[in-house]
Amino acid sequence: MPEINLYTIGTVKITKKLKTNINISSEELFEKYSEISSILSFESKEMIRLAVDENLEPQLRKKKDEILEYFEAVESQLLQLGFGSEEAAEEEEAEELKGEQMDANDIPQQTDQDTFDKESKQKEGKLILGDQQMDSKLVPIKIKEKIALYQERDGSLSTSKETTRTGKIEILNNSDKDRLWDIDLKFENVSQTDITDESFSVKELDPETSKEIEYAFEGDVISKLSVEEFISTAGDPDIESYSLSVGAENEIFMRVTIKNSEYEEVSKIGVFKFIPDEFTNPQILGQSLGNAEIKDKDGKNYAHWEIEKLDSNEEATLDLRLNVYIDSKETKIRTGEVAFKYITSESVSGIKIGSFDAYTNNSYNIITSEIDDEPNTYECKFIFENTSEFMIRLVNADVYNEDDSSIKYVDIDPNEIPEIPAGGKWESNAWTFTAEDGEYPTFKTKVEFFTIADHQIATKIKVNISDLELAVAALDGVINYSIDKLPSFKITPFNISGKVTNTGGAPLNEVSLVEEIQAEFLPPKPSQVEVYLNGNIIEVPVDAIKIEPDDQDPGVEHTVTVSLENLKDTDAGSLQPDENIEFKYPITAYNPTKETLYKANAKLSANTYPPGKPIEIRAEPIEIMVEHIRRNIAKGKDIQALATEGEFQITLSIKNMGESELTNYRLKEKVASGLILSDVSHEAKISEKDGNKILAWKFETIAPDEVFAVTYKISPSAEAKVSETQKDD
């Protein structure tokens, strides 16, 4: 029982009856193989129609041979795909073309055009688009990779969550009527994937169906985008801070900045800022690009920010405002993770499509027309027609003399014919052929074509960035200097004290003091720097104290840095709530001029683990003045006899004739024994020495040009003279 294999079309069994299993209609069959079908009688066509369309088994009788010959001819034509044995170079060139692809958004606009032989430059035929042009489809081959990264706030990869990398290759038949068959796909650069076979074949792919290959891959992944989050618990876009107020409604300002640091644009960006339950009244203040809104999913709030594309080195910002109430210093509030995703047009694994070929519906025929005035001489023409919706690349079309293969009437090589769009066809130049009387022209053909693919590579990268804990970086700090004035042109040491107290609810991992000491002042030596923990002196690493430059040159500025890092790893441990650290060291004024003014330039800072933006406390604008004190004093004594006999008034005067204020000026006066003292104008400290009274006064300040006077009265006794009071011994 003869059975004819028509490959992708189906099968035919011919006995006394005709039984078919064909997946196209009889009309399509006759149209597809129109030249062969033209030899069929009306009765044979009707039998084939009943078998194919009605699924009947008609009796063949006298038409058996005709129908058998027909289906054998169809089978023969189906086998005539590929290249001739003499065309190895052309076949290799065609293989290279199988690696080409076209962008579905950039399918060229074509017109009818002549085609030419590459070597001879002679016309070989013509591409004809037809009266009703259709939109051509490309076969999408999609490489889709997904990567999920977990990062800390400093950009480093999380050690607690692993990066996941998965991929999928999808071949899609996006036609709603045309099948694809004999699909061959080859991959390149699969070394980082778990793909073991670089070739993938699919026998048939029905319309609107697909085949997928899933894989995993390894390798470093670096995000093209970076995100930074600015937080101000002061609600101020210019002040970064993490310290919260207890017993108050804290207004929080947050700014999310996303930047593209690559040389190409990144598209389809989605940013998600998750808002923990403790925060209330979330508001979007604005965004520099895209669209953003507050959304709710399962009772959880988040800000969803979408950006269509971000150009190379471009950045965009999203501003938010929230509120949070803190009722205890032990309260810990997480700021909420930031996540973003985007799509890039390259595979991170490096996998590529090496080549792709597939067949689809087509028709090729040789038209033979006997010339009116030349019996048995035919004008012949080869026609290849794209009857599918796909764009097709015709890479070989050879028509041979059936008896002598060295004679070619059509010889089309790769790259000689443009892409043939849906509904288009290519017609060869006509040639003439003389057949034997009573015979018809017959030829051998070799045809090779394939559909054109659209390589769609897209990697979706999602990055989750860890959040921050608030109310962990609250601290008080104070910076004091031991003096407020310095004498000019003297070497005078004084001390600085910087004290940090953890007033938050979680440990501090870093505490430091930095002071810039101006010229004319000497920095401490490293051995003079002392560090106290809760009032007790502690040892610190040698490299924790830096004096730059490390010298005692009064002519240059110096920087003193005392930095305690990674306290959690030390014997003392992190600075716990309510604990304090104090830094002490001397500074020496080195003969400062009277114009010198020492301006405090010191700051204390602290940070948590994991670190956020350090909290800084700067010294108040303290200025230590240099006093150029050169004393110029006029001291006088005036004795006047009063109207009462034997009574005298003594006036002591001090005049500050200098430019500086006199401080703690002391004045002494001796009143001889035997003199009677009365009416002292300013309270004096009175003592006795050798029988004499010693009067002593202390004046806190005497301003320049100020005169200070003290009066008292005396009257002599029989044993003393008034003149004794004029002796200043």
239: CATH: 2.60.40.1170
- pLDDT for 106: 77
Ramachandran assignment for 329, one of left (phi > 0), alpha (psi -120 to 50 degrees), beta (any other) = alpha
Task: Indicate if 235 and 93 belong to the same structural domain.
Answer: no
Residues in CB range of 680: below 8 A, 6 or more apart: 695, 710, 711, 712
Final residue before a domain boundary, out of 347, 377, 408 = 347
Is the predicted pLDDT of residue 493 greater than 70, yes or no? yes
The CATH number of the domain where 611 resides is what? 2.60.40.740
Q: Do 337 and 287 have their domain in common?
A: yes
Q: Give dist(CA 695, CA 77) in Å, integer.
A: 140
Same domain, 545 and 493: yes
617 and 483 in one domain?
yes
**Residue 102 belongs to some domain of the structure:** yes
Whether 611 is covered by a domain: the verdict is: yes
In a domain, 13, yes or no: yes
Residue 608 lies in a domain: yes
Q: Are 416 and 384 in contact (CB under 8 A)?
A: no
Instruction: Give pLDDT tens digits for 509-519.
Output: 999 999 999 99
Q: Does 476 share its domain with 612? A: yes
Q: How many domains does the chain have?
A: 5
Q: Which residues of 557-586 are buried (b: 16+ CB within 10 A; e: fewer)?
A: ebebebbbbebeeeebebbebebbbbbbbb
Q: Map tokens 């200097």 to a residue.
A: 481
CB 213 within 8 A of CB 195: yes
Q: Quick one: pLDDT band at residue 728, thresholds 50, 70, 90?
A: low
Tell me: do 490 and 618 sit in the same domain.
Answer: yes
Per-residue pLDDT reduced to its tens digit, 109-142: 888 999 999 889 999 999 998 765 678 899 999 9
Contact indicator for 707, 667 with CB cutoff of 8 Å = no
Count of H helices and E strands in the chain?
A: 5, 50
Paired residues of 638 in beta bridges = 651
pLDDT per residue over 424-453, tens digit each?
A: 999 999 999 998 887 888 888 888 899 999
Residues 365 and 416 in one domain: yes
Q: Which range, of 309-313, 562-566, 616-620, averages the lowest pLDDT?
A: 616-620
Same domain for 117 and 240, yes or no, is no
Residue 167: inside a domain: no
Last-in-domain residue among 452, 482, 502 = 452
The enclosing domain of 704 has a CATH number of: 2.60.40.290
280-287 and 315-326 strand pairing? antiparallel
Burial class (CB in 10 A: 0-12, 13-18, 19+), 184: middle
Which residues span the domain enclosing 44? Answer: 3-78
Residue 1 has pLDDT above 50, yes or no: no
pLDDT band at 613 (very low <50, low <70, confident <90, very high): low
* 433 and 495 both lie in a single domain: no
Residue 464 maps to a domain:
no
Decide if 324 is inside a domain. Answer: yes
In a domain, residue 203? The reply is: no
Mean pLDDT calculated for residue range 536-556? 94
Is there a single domain that holds both residue 683 and residue 542? no
Q: Which helix (H) or strand (E) holds 500?
A: strand 491-502
Among 202, 219, 211, residue whose Cα is nearest residue 166: 219
* Overall average pLDDT of the 368-372 stretch: 91
C-alpha torsion 484→487→489→491, nearest 10: -70
360 pLDDT more than 80: yes
Domain final position from 573, 603, 627: 627
Q: What is the mean pLDDT of residues 691-711?
A: 85
Whether 373 and 337 map to the same domain: the answer is: no
Residues 110 and 19 in one domain: no
